[in-house]
A and B are shown apart, each in its own frame.
Chain A
Amino acid sequence: MVKKISIGVIVIAVLVVGWQLLPSTNKQTASTQQNESSSTTTQAAIQDDDLVIGDKVAPATITEYGDFKCPSCGQFHQEAGKQLRDGYIKENKLKIVFRPIAVIGPDSERSAIGAYCAKSHGKFTEYHDAIYNYMWDNYYEARNFSAEYKDILTSKLLSTIAQELGLDTATFESCLNELSQAQKVANNQKTAQEIGVRGTPTFSINSQLVVGPQPYNVFKSLVDIQLKQ
């Protein structure tokens, strides 16, 4: 009896997983095709506008859809992200293409625009790290998640951070208000919707979506698969 029920539990678990997978097979095929067709813009070919962490010609790519205000994105940055940078990215085997989107609040969009402004000064990676570290050190590490709903990343704060990174604050501030920069964030938002991103952080690796700040080994396995192909 117990044996039968044990088998039953396993069968039910498999059925639940299978049931979830079956209807999505078509969607997955479509999304895979879409990903493959759009891979020139999302993965394989790096565009001038792309925000890249690591060597642009590194063979493996993780495309991250993230929000600077999102605590889970901050957690990825503090954990698996750092491990990937210490290993694969340092060895020029991997690049992370960061596509900032605005999910949480108005300052999500402002900080996302700021990333493109920092890039135009060659300081994107530094800006990316500075913003995530600021939110983590001041709020999220201590589980102060109410910060998500406050306008924390104001233009003033972003300018201060930009100044600390050695950017010209006047140019940076005027860049924050440029429509062309805001359009880049809007484009990311559109691409994210098209490939089925529901929230942040979501990663696209080997045309597979990975949701949430997964442990390092999950990313490692997927990057290793990509490197073998």
Chain B
Amino acid sequence: MKLPLKLKFKIVLRAVVTVLRRPKYIILSIISTLAMAGIIIWSLNLELLGYILFQAPLDLFGKIDFIAYGYQSLFTTYDNLLSLGIIVFTVFFGINIAMLVYVIKRQGMKAVPKKSGGGAFIFAILGGGCVACGTSLVAPLLASFGAVSAPFLRDLGAIFNWLGSLLIIYSIYKLSLLISVPPVTNTVHSGNKSNSE
């Protein structure tokens, strides 16, 4: 059945509110957002991160500070479009994880849609860095195809990232359907009980 866009939006909004009004899911969402942002930000400097964590003569606070400084690079390493894309993606990613856990907890693993964010994760990681300058994970791949000088490369990182966001939104929508509209079999067997949550 094809649902009107307005109704889809309402379903998603209702599901997001249902999940995020519980503090533990907000915390899970924030942790997931920060973890994902960290992975994207540090993906180009993992050796440096390893050096800071395990070798650098810094105390614990110094190490924490350094990692926190890395998050500032969101506004220096990436241009505005890509920065915004990463922020949007990571926030959606956090919401997606919280909703995924909510669904697993209530309906079991079998209820989880197959496409629930893995592809989006890959796109977002590939989208980081400056493709044209060679400081992107996707740059060596493109260079091997001789495509480094194509003008569209400048925004390719942002395109990858926004594509990741679209996939995450799709995943959120699929999870929202499960949260807002519980499976028919559940309704039949447990009657009103399934709606009371």
Majority secondary structure of chain A interface residues (helix, strand, loop or mixed): helix
In the bound complex, do residue B31 and residue A10 qualify as a contact, i.e. CB atoms below 8 Å apart? Answer: yes
Q: Is A45 an interface residue (CB 8 A)?
A: no
Q: Which of A199, A202, A213 contacts B76 (CB 8 A)?
A: A213
Q: Which of A183-229 contact B (CB under 8 A)?
A: 198-202, 206, 208-215, 217-218, 221, 225, 228-229
Q: How far is the CA of A197 from the CA of B152 in the complex (A)?
A: 23
Query: Closest approach, in angstroms, between the C-beta of A107 and any C-beta of chain B?
Result: 12
Cβ proximity bits A25-57 to B, threshold 8 Å, 1 near / 0 not: 000100000000000000000000000000000
Q: Is B151 an interface residue (CB 8 A)?
A: yes
Closest to B78 in A: A212
9-residue interface stretch from A65-73, A109-117, A154-162, A163-171: A65-73
In the bound complex, do residue B39 and residue A225 qualify as a contact, i.e. CB atoms below 8 Å apart? Answer: no
In the bound complex, do residue A13 and residue B35 qualify as a contact, i.e. CB atoms below 8 Å apart? Answer: yes
Q: How far is the CA of A79 from the CA of B73 in the complex (A)?
A: 12
Q: How far is the CA of A180 from the CA of B51 in the complex (A)?
A: 37
Knowing A198-B134, A221-B62 touch, does A10 contact B73 (C-beta < 8 A)? no
B residues near A104, Cβ cutoff 8 Å: 132-133, 149
Closest to B129 in A: A212
9-residue interface stretch from A84-92, A129-137, A143-151: A143-151
Which of B50, B57, B58, B134 gathers the greatest number of chain A CB atoms within 10 Å?
B134
Q: Is B47 an interface residue (CB 8 A)?
A: yes
Cβ proximity bits B69-82 to A, threshold 8 Å, 1 near / 0 not: 11011011101100
Q: Which of B46, B69, B79 contacts A221 (CB 8 A)?
A: B69
Q: Is A138 an interface residue (CB 8 A)?
A: no
Q: How large is the interface on B (under 10, 10 to 19, 20 to 34, 35 or more residues)?
A: 35 or more
Q: Is A174 an interface residue (CB 8 A)?
A: no
Knowing A202-B135, A225-B58 touch, does A17 contact B42 (C-beta < 8 A)? yes
Q: How far is the CA of A209 from the CA of B32 in the complex (A)?
A: 28
Knowing A200-B133, A225-B57 touch, does A146 contact B151 (C-beta < 8 A)? yes
Knowing A218-B73, A221-B65 touch, does A211 contact B45 (C-beta < 8 A)? yes
Q: Is B27 an interface residue (CB 8 A)?
A: yes
A residues near B27, Cβ cutoff 8 Å: 2, 6
Q: Is B180 an interface residue (CB 8 A)?
A: no
In the bound complex, do residue A210 and residue B133 qualify as a contact, i.e. CB atoms below 8 Å apart? Answer: no
Q: How far is the CA of A104 from the CA of B79 in the complex (A)?
A: 18
Query: Closest approach, in angstroms, between the C-beta of B88 and any C-beta of chain A?
Result: 19
Query: Closest approach, in angstroms, between the C-beta of A161 and any C-beta of chain B?
Result: 22
Query: Closest approach, in angstroms, between the C-beta of B67 and any C-beta of chain A?
Result: 10
Q: How far is the CA of A10 from the CA of B58 in the complex (A)?
A: 23
Q: Is B147 an interface residue (CB 8 A)?
A: no
Q: How far is the CA of A145 from the CA of B58 in the complex (A)?
A: 39
In the bound complex, do residue A72 and residue B24 qualify as a contact, i.e. CB atoms below 8 Å apart? Answer: no
Query: Closest approach, in angstroms, between the C-beta of A119 and any C-beta of chain B?
Result: 24
In the bound complex, do residue A72 and residue B45 qualify as a contact, i.e. CB atoms below 8 Å apart? Answer: no
Closest to A196 in B: B47
B residues near A198, Cβ cutoff 8 Å: 134-135, 139-140
A residues near B132, Cβ cutoff 8 Å: 70-71, 104, 145, 148
Q: Could you jot down 8 A-B contacts, CB within 8 Å?
A: A20-B46, A103-B134, A143-B80, A146-B151, A149-B149, A198-B134, A213-B76, A221-B58
Known: A21-B50, A70-B132. 12 other contacts (CB 8 A): A1-B101, A6-B28, A9-B28, A10-B35, A17-B42, A70-B130, A72-B77, A72-B130, A104-B133, A146-B151, A221-B65, A228-B57
